[in-house]
């Protein structure tokens, strides 16, 4: 059951809404492939987000803008393959839902159809509410995303905290209420003061999932590669690194390189007897 981590059925969007009603925190994390998805799934996360952050985290792009439907479908499919309990949500990439409503429904449907994921996520507030409504009417669960929305990084003037003053915080509440009315099952709140995130969280019945939005959201999401310390260049204040796998990887590979160069690997312990002993 949600919140557990033992043998269970797959989470649904309804489970997450029920978790908010019960006051249970929701644990979300990104994964872009079957290997990491199976690891985080086994760790008992409730939701795996196949984020378009794959463009920057794995592909080395500066922003998420280059992600395509084909790329998100590929990563969605391989991540969904690794997850048996968590709800898998795939990001709709830039320009896959902003241009025309019918195109948005088709793209969302194709993502679900070809990945095995349970929902899509898209960014924006009132301006995407009718699109959200159309996608939800087609039977496709949608997660919203407010605050700092990475696909609008250029329009927002960079990675800036949103909702800082009263007017901006009130606007966030309005956007969240519009998304809820349009049918989202949950909303990501990115980079905003804790007080603004609290107001949004209290204003809607669907769960809010925060990243850089303080402790009062209904759940939290982190980018896996950031929290594992693999993406070492990225260290915003809100990020907690639960491991230092970047450092561990460099050290392991340097040791391997040294041992290969010194003729120590592969050695006797791997079944190779020293030359002259008939090995």
Stretch that binds ligand KIV, among 37-45, 50-58, 74-82, 245-253 (CB under 6 A): 50-58
For residue 147, the cross-strand partners are 190
From candidates 24, 41, 46, 52, binder to ligand KIV by CB under 6 A: 52
CB of 51 to ligand KIV, least distance (A): 2
Nearer to ligand KIV, 137 or 160 (CB): 160
Interaction between residue 188 and ligand KIV (CB under 6 A): yes
From candidates 20, 29, 30, 219, binder to ligand KIV by CB under 6 A: 30
Nearer to ligand KIV, 9 or 245 (CB): 245
Cβ contacts of residue 161 below 8 Å, gap of 6+? 148, 191, 192, 193, 212
CB of 40 to ligand KIV, least distance (A): 13
Q: Are 273 and 279 in contact (CB under 8 A)?
A: yes
DSSP 161: -
Interaction between residue 218 and ligand KIV (CB under 6 A): no
For residue 129, the cross-strand partners are none
CB of 111 to ligand KIV, least distance (A): 14
Interaction between residue 51 and ligand KIV (CB under 6 A): yes
From candidates 15, 24, 91, 218, binder to ligand KIV by CB under 6 A: 91
What is the Cα–Cα distance from 161 to 142, expressed in whole angstroms?
24
CB of 73 to ligand KIV, least distance (A): 15
Q: Pick the catalytic residue from 190, 202, 259, 268.
A: 190
Concerning whether 268 is annotated as a catalytic residue, the answer is no
What is the Cα–Cα distance from 230 to 245, expressed in whole angstroms?
5
How many C-beta atoms surround the C-beta of residue 50 within 10 A? 30
Q: Are 231 and 244 in contact (CB under 8 A)?
A: no
From candidates 79, 200, 221, 230, binder to ligand KIV by CB under 6 A: 221
DSSP-derived secondary structure for 27-87: EEEE--SHHHHHHHHHTT-SEEEE-TTHHHHTT--SSSTT--HHHHHHHHHHHHHH-SSSE
Q: Which residues are catalytically annotated?
A: 190
């Amino acid at each position: 059951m949600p919140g557990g981590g033992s043998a269970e059925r797959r989470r649904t969007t309804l489970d997450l809404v029920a978790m908010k009603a019960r006051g249970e925190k929701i644990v979300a994390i990104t994964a872009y492939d079957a290997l990491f998805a199976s690891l985080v799934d086994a760790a008992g996360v409730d939701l795996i987000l196949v984020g378009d952050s794959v463009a920057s985290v794995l592909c080395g792009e500066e922003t998420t803008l280059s992600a395509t439907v084909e790329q998100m479908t590929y990563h969605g499919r391989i991540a969904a393959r690794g997850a048996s309990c968590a709800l898998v949500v795939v990001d709709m990439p830039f320009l896959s839902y902003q241009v025309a409503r019918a195109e948005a429904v088709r793209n969302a449907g194709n993502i679900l159809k070809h990945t095995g994921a349970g929902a899509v996520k898209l960014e924006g507030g009132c301006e995407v509410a009718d699109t959200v409504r159309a996608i939800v009417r087609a039977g496709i669960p949608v997660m919203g995303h407010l605050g700092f929305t990475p696909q609008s990084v250029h329009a927002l003037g960079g990675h800036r905290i949103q909702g800082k003053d009263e007017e901006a915080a009130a606007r966030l509440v309005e956007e969240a209420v519009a998304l809820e009315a349009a049918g989202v099952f949950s909303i990501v709140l990115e980079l905003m003061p804790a007080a603004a995130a609290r107001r949004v969280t209290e204003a809607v019945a669907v769960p809010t999932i925060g990243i850089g939005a303080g402790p009062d959201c209904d759940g939290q999401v982190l980018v896996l590669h950031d929290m594992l310390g693999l993406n070492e260049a990225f260290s915003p204040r809100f990020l907690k690194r639960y491991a230092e796998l970047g450092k561990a990887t460099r050290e392991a590979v340097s040791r391997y390189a040294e041992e290969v160069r010194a003729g120590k690997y592969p050695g006797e312990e791997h079944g190779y007897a020293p030359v002259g002993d008939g090995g």
